[in-house]
Structure 1
């Protein structure tokens, strides 16, 4: 993960700052957390801390709501995205495995040396 992507995941913003940036009330933000649309971190005092990614997600939720989507619709959108990401990860692992098995010393009939595993 690039440094820029890592920095976007650092949870450093308190809820007051997030309220100003997103124009959501604290209650709305807590509601979206209850709906598992965002998952802010907690500090030692159990206060919510938000990352830039969390703020982006809240702004995207606002856009969806402004377009007429319901919270249930938004949850479904994020659920489908998550499932698609998992599917893409599985495809990538499968392609990488096939590439490894079909290259170099593993090329012999799709079998790894010292293994009885066949493709």
Structure 2
């Protein structure tokens, strides 16, 4: 997806320093969560990380779960399950729309 087509929440425009200020997490913690595949910042041609508001929200959720003692591996599993559910729900809605369009086509 092209950066211009994204909602403002998903555009990767925020520096790691600003993300650190917004979340209260250190740069090191943020990079660690990236290493653990809990988020994926955009990298500029010079390698600078850029984050979105959605990434900031995700980091806040991760920090809350870590404070509750949840391990990063479990957080990753939970995130993958949630994404799979969302993908399934989207496919189901798309299929339902196709079926509705097919069977209602030409009927009034």
Aligned to 1:80: 81
Aligned to 1:24: 25
1:36: Cα distance to partner?
1.2
For 1:31 and 1:67, the matched residues in 2 are separated by 18
Q: What is the TM-score of this pair, normalised by structure 2?
A: 0.87
Bigger-Rg structure (1/2): 1
SS of residue in 1 equivalent to 2:12? coil
> Would you say 1:61 and 2:62 are equivalent positions?
yes
Aligned to 1:15: 16
SS of residue in 2 equivalent to 1:38? coil
1:104: Cα distance to partner?
2.4
Structure 1 residue runs of 5 or longer lacking an equivalent are 108-119
Aligned to 2:98: 97
SS of residue in 2 equivalent to 1:46? coil
Aligned to 2:52: 51
Q: What is the TM-score of this pair, normalised by structure 1?
A: 0.79
Aligned to 2:3: none
Once the two structures are overlaid, the 10-residue window that deviates more, 63-72 or 46-55, is 63-72
Structure 2 residue runs of 5 or longer lacking an equivalent are 1-5
> Would you say 1:71 and 2:72 are equivalent positions?
yes
For 1:17 and 1:25, the matched residues in 2 are separated by 11
For 2:49 and 2:74, the matched residues in 1 are separated by 25
Q: Give the length in aligned residue pairs.
A: 102
SS of residue in 2 equivalent to 1:102? helix
